Structure 1
């Protein structure tokens, strides 16, 4: 995480004589900073509260900007009836539906028609019965409704369908019900995520600091950063029409709590050291900021630049996540270098009670000795440790071969809502016909010809015109193969190829399966573009900080290996253990960006500390052990906090969040406790001064070092 000053007391600059004028200014500054942040908080709160209303979770927000299926989704909303709520009443009785069952469906549809304006279906609709007579579905559509009214309508209809006779299942499905259930899940995520993340961070801070008060100070600072970030993001939405989804706002929350707490851990650790060296809290904090400032700037800069690389992605949710995440990290940085220091200085040494750092007291022995022992083992067996660790990561990476296939639309939720269960009944009973057809939009003048071409396409079972308006005609196409199967995907591809033969029709193909195909192909293209861009940006940052190509490549390779191993472990866990039916196409790219941008910070911290030691006159091998000893404890704590915050995502009810949270958390832990501690240190030991090539430190004569210690 950059040039954090962890030099032992004897290497720190002498304490300057007291300056009465400076002391007065120093006492006033924390109050001014606190007042400024209170003003910011008062201004930001109203705008932060509006971010939830500005999030976009409709299908288009999670689709590629330039995809054909995205154009269909946008145009469909503009057609007459595009804002209708399409629903399916599904009945099922094992052994076959009875006449009484069908009469009940007719009564329920009549009651629905009495309460709501129907634009399709309703009383008198004979419905569609499965071949075995056990399942029937009745499609109908409600007129245009606002979002809240739509949710209320779906809830009322479900109440009407509740309590069917014994043996009969009645459920509500269709695109409208799926949308309402998805929105309910999204609304539940914000509060749950915030409370869970705050609780975990609070617990870890209490364990780390062992103080009844100190843990609360960073938590308050993180909360202020979260409010400020939400207000800034809301402003970006209004000014630049930025796409912000629930997923991106959730990730921003996790980043603020994780990265912000990491910054607090580094600052407080350095401040505690300075309090033992300096008599006044203000002086100690200024010294701590001088030491931590480059580290925090390097950390936030690396993460922010890595996230901004996502702007190059074509996927709307991914490209929007870049600036949203960067805002969160930068707000966390701003608070941790201004508000947190002010609060700590105003509270004085007593905030550390009962472990109060006294002026002139020696630093207590603790984690440094533990990491010194680890360094001793590295110096005795560097080759064995490097080879064994690399093989371990390589074997874990092979698990990626077992990653599940693409995630289907009905498999997006970890807990299946009612609408998903209804659609599963439809899929089982009508494998030849999806409840949500392939949607084709074409120029109205050529609609008849488009229907002919669709019917002539291999794999198409039915094609019929539907809504029209604005010069467009909607055509519903049903594949012969089950929904979202390989056969239906082949049908979509063949349909697009066939309709391209009639360019005048301007036909575009959409629908759930087409969207999944476009999402998968666009994600693959985004990976080919964004991943090299992230690697290049991070490599440049490392090169500037470390002035070494070898060290930069070493750190970059290490975090990529951590990500590969984490993805491999996901392949062993997602399907067999967690029961996920597929891998969301966004997970590889987003987890890569987070694992590399966040993980490389810990490597920067270790390597930059090594560089400081070498500049101080010790050998590279001695510097590697000293860096591990002095940085091990605080970075281990930071890694655990960051991983824990991403573990909260793994508990969310959306599969994409759970998968991404798992991969990033595992990647951070691997980097913290294996890659940084053992592999980077052992590789640096073996490379010796060559690790600094082509910098001037590579040309320094080697200094002998005793095995297991600093020479």
Structure 2
């Protein structure tokens, strides 16, 4: 194989190309300085990010809604007029006799006495060195608010309400809850009674405890899979472990950078954002390193007479251009979330953008430096550098796509079309109950539901505020609770509670359906709000709050954001492709391809979750996040193959032969990278959060479709069918090879990197 001159971009470099070459050139000339700098930054930022992460996350979905939404206005009244703490976590404690008999009057007095004692017991946060240095960890020690709630109609149990304040995702607060739970349980055991605990925090902790082992095992399996793939592909120890160590170091630095930016700007992150960022960084980081390794190995074989450091500089500059374009595509796609109204989307965009930019910087500095330091030893003890691999699957795939492009196109479209059919009847699921495990919290909730309305532990609340400066009274508001009691689906209406200065009132509604189910969302958004609008007294305004109301408003916000973000993201990605490929037709081909990949992935996800697993629907965040991930990450592979097709078409010979060579050279890198990235996202499938589970599965599937169907079959086949016309109006110029490096005739040219595993 010959050492070829760089592609057209190298002959007419853009300003950003010069910056990339300057960065990669400096890194390969001063590799140890670059490695040392990244080591210091990575360790420092990683430690800082882990400790401060939970200071910049918030777990309440309603906090992400704009103030103009009804449930957000209700929360504002609750905080300002009733002193509600936005960080309060309500826990429902079930207390019953151990013999199963109904509670007696003495039993109830005992429960009240124990509750009174617990309400005055200050609970210290258990010391856990795993949470970080004590001077940086927030001290959640507090006295829980404990109060009687309700007695079951059959007197089989009594419910207590316990309130803990703090970020429910923080391990510190979770440890405090465990201490409160154990102390409460012991206090009632001493009185001969049993207890059960449920509610958001209780369910979250129980689910995390149940899935802890699975999550750990899956994490190790994911790392093991990445190492195994690299060993099989490169037959090298360093090539297997160096990318993983480098990406872990950079990932820590990126996570710390995200936390730092969040603290400086006051942005609050969603609890699921860190785990999503983690797999994104592992996936794209290893992908970018693999792109470099494959091209590095290819050029070391081609020019054994050149110093390895020189080759690393040339390869890093060349591949760095494609990597930069791919990374900026992801950044641009997620930057569009800045126009979203739902805060959960709006904070995800900057977080992913910052982390990807950090990984891009590492791809242009740390990774080239590691290549320059390891040189040919990167592939030790493999002898692959000393021999040309035999023609393999990648070579046969390239020949097939080039010879029969129409067949390849029709086969790809048939597969994508079949998966897209799954979109028929798609439903959005706004439920937040997580985990497939039968936890103690879930069992307690089921026991309560058998005797009381399903929404008793999480009521919807109507907040009424006086606007005429006249004091509110129960008599003035009596028509409203009466009307609400007549709404079908409202099991019970609580008494009207007035605040101290009688400027606001709260009416709790206990629904007959779980507050996190779609029925509750439709009930609150429709009949309940209609009844409130018709029966709110003159001189007052009313708003409906609570979990069901929040999800109803989130549904409205998401629908609005989908209509805006989709076209904006598509336009930005298309503009980046236009600048990179310097063509009008090629970007259109790529955008059509990734759009087909998106709808096929969403259709397949609907089939899997909604039909096969019988879920209420696909999670409400999935379409938008999936669009961004599949389109942005899938475009990475399309950029890599397109860039190589353009480079190959600059050499003499038929366009279809150039396509075949491009697939032959690039397929191993795309296949390996696709599997690694899919494995990274697939690891999210065991996450306790249901939305994260679906994102992990769906994105992994979308990445596999992008890598194996779009990038290696559909896009090359379209390029083979359109020929050099795909680059209209600026077709690549055919360059003459340098003397003494002339490539052999196409028929005699050996297949390189043709095997997926050498």
Query: Normalising by structure 1, what TM-score?
Result: 0.85
Q: Would the alpha carbon gap of residues 341 and 11 (structure 1) be closer, same or farther in structure 2, given more than 3 Å must change?
A: closer
Aligned-partner SS, 2:508: strand
For 1:101 and 1:216, the matched residues in 2 are separated by 66
Q: Within 5 Å, which residues of 2 pair with 1:343-382?
A: 343-356=370-383, 361-365=386-390, 369-382=392-405
Partner residue of 2:648? 613
Q: Within 5 Å, which residues of 2 pair with 1:576-595?
A: 576-578=611-613, 580-595=615-630
Deviation at 1:423, TM superposition (A): 2.3
For 1:439 and 1:535, the matched residues in 2 are separated by 40
Contact 2:145 2:163 in 1 (8 A): yes
For 1:606 and 1:226, the matched residues in 2 are separated by 26
Q: Is 1:573 aligned to 2:608, yes or no?
A: yes
Partner residue of 2:510? 478
- Cα RMSD of the aligned pairs, angstroms, is 3.8
Contact 1:63 1:317 in 2 (8 A): yes
Deviation at 1:581, TM superposition (A): 4.3
Partner residue of 1:224? 249
Deviation at 1:172, TM superposition (A): 1.9
Deviation at 1:221, TM superposition (A): 1.1
Q: Is 1:554 aligned to 2:589, yes or no?
A: yes
Deviation at 1:469, TM superposition (A): 5.6
Contact 1:441 1:474 in 2 (8 A): yes
Partner residue of 2:357? 330
Contact 1:309 1:534 in 2 (8 A): yes
Q: Would the alpha carbon gap of residues 77 and 324 (structure 1) be closer, same or farther in structure 2, given more than 3 Å must change?
A: same
Q: Would the alpha carbon gap of residues 161 and 583 (structure 1) be closer, same or farther in structure 2, given more than 3 Å must change?
A: farther
Partner residue of 2:258? 233
For 2:323 and 2:151, the matched residues in 1 are separated by 64
Deviation at 1:57, TM superposition (A): 3.8
Partner residue of 2:461? 439
Higher mean Cα deviation, 111-120 or 316-325?
111-120
Q: Is 1:90 aligned to 2:61, yes or no?
A: no
1:138 to 159, 163, 180: 159
Partner residue of 1:99? 102
Deviation at 1:149, TM superposition (A): 3.8
Contact 1:116 1:142 in 2 (8 A): no
Partner residue of 2:523? 490
For 1:268 and 1:64, the matched residues in 2 are separated by 45
Deviation at 1:353, TM superposition (A): 1.1
Q: Within 5 Å, which residues of 2 pair with 1:181-580?
A: 181=206, 197-276=222-301, 277=303, 278-356=305-383, 361-365=386-390, 369-401=392-424, 403=426, 405-409=428-432, 411-431=433-453, 434-443=456-465, 445-446=471-472, 448=474, 449-450=476-477, 452-457=479-484, 458-459=487-488, 460=490, 461-466=492-497, 468=499, 471-479=503-511, 483=515, 484=517, 486=519, 489-500=522-533, 502=536, 504-578=539-613, 580=615
Contact 2:649 2:655 in 1 (8 A): yes
Q: Would the alpha carbon gap of residues 107 and 463 (structure 1) be closer, same or farther in structure 2, given more than 3 Å must change?
A: closer
Q: Would the alpha carbon gap of residues 417 and 473 (structure 1) be closer, same or farther in structure 2, given more than 3 Å must change?
A: farther
Gaps of 5+ in 1: 1-7, 14-23, 700-704
Deviation at 1:540, TM superposition (A): 0.8
Partner residue of 1:16? none
Aligned-partner SS, 1:9: coil
Deviation at 1:179, TM superposition (A): 6.2
Higher mean Cα deviation, 675-684 or 216-225?
675-684
Q: Would the alpha carbon gap of residues 250 and 305 (structure 1) be closer, same or farther in structure 2, given more than 3 Å must change?
A: same
Q: Would the alpha carbon gap of residues 105 and 211 (structure 1) be closer, same or farther in structure 2, given more than 3 Å must change?
A: farther
Partner residue of 1:127? 151
Contact 1:310 1:319 in 2 (8 A): yes
Q: Would the alpha carbon gap of residues 447 and 200 (structure 1) be closer, same or farther in structure 2, given more than 3 Å must change?
A: farther
Gaps of 5+ in 2: 7-24, 121-143, 168-172, 735-744, 751-758
For 2:543 and 2:438, the matched residues in 1 are separated by 31
Could you give the per-residue CA deviations for residues 35-87 of structure 1, whole angstroms, max 9, x where no partner exists? 32233235424422324332424214774334322343455355335466544
Contact 2:102 2:155 in 1 (8 A): no
Deviation at 1:105, TM superposition (A): 6.5
Deviation at 1:263, TM superposition (A): 0.6
Could you give the per-residue CA deviations for residues 523-576 of structure 1, whole angstroms, max 9, x where no partner exists? 111111111111111111111112222221221121121122222221222145
Could you give the per-residue CA deviations for residues 369-415 of structure 1, whole angstroms, max 9, x where no partner exists? 42221133234433333223212211111112354552424x33333
Deviation at 1:180, TM superposition (A): 5.5
Aligned-partner SS, 1:609: helix
Contact 1:427 1:435 in 2 (8 A): no
Deviation at 1:649, TM superposition (A): 0.8
Higher mean Cα deviation, 295-304 or 370-379?
370-379
Could you give the per-residue CA deviations for residues 271-317 of structure 1, whole angstroms, max 9, x where no partner exists? 22333314322212111112111011111111111111112222222
Deviation at 1:432, TM superposition (A): 6.9
Contact 1:580 1:655 in 2 (8 A): no
Higher mean Cα deviation, 436-445 or 424-433?
424-433
Deviation at 1:636, TM superposition (A): 0.9
For 2:291 and 2:454, the matched residues in 1 are separated by 60
Contact 1:80 1:467 in 2 (8 A): no
Higher mean Cα deviation, 438-447 or 193-202?
193-202
For 2:543 and 2:654, the matched residues in 1 are separated by 65
For 2:152 and 2:26, the matched residues in 1 are separated by 80
For 1:164 and 1:375, the matched residues in 2 are separated by 76
For 2:473 and 2:223, the matched residues in 1 are separated by 55
Q: Would the alpha carbon gap of residues 138 and 11 (structure 1) be closer, same or farther in structure 2, given more than 3 Å must change?
A: closer
Aligned-partner SS, 2:618: coil
Query: Normalising by structure 2, what TM-score?
Result: 0.80
Q: How many residues align?
A: 676
Higher mean Cα deviation, 636-645 or 493-502?
493-502
Partner residue of 2:132? none
Aligned-partner SS, 2:237: coil
For 1:389 and 1:226, the matched residues in 2 are separated by 35
Aligned-partner SS, 2:657: helix
For 1:698 and 1:185, the matched residues in 2 are separated by 61
For 1:76 and 1:182, the matched residues in 2 are separated by 29
For 1:554 and 1:482, the matched residues in 2 are separated by 47
Q: Within 5 Å, which residues of 2 pair with 1:4-23?
A: 8-12=1-5
Deviation at 1:580, TM superposition (A): 3.8
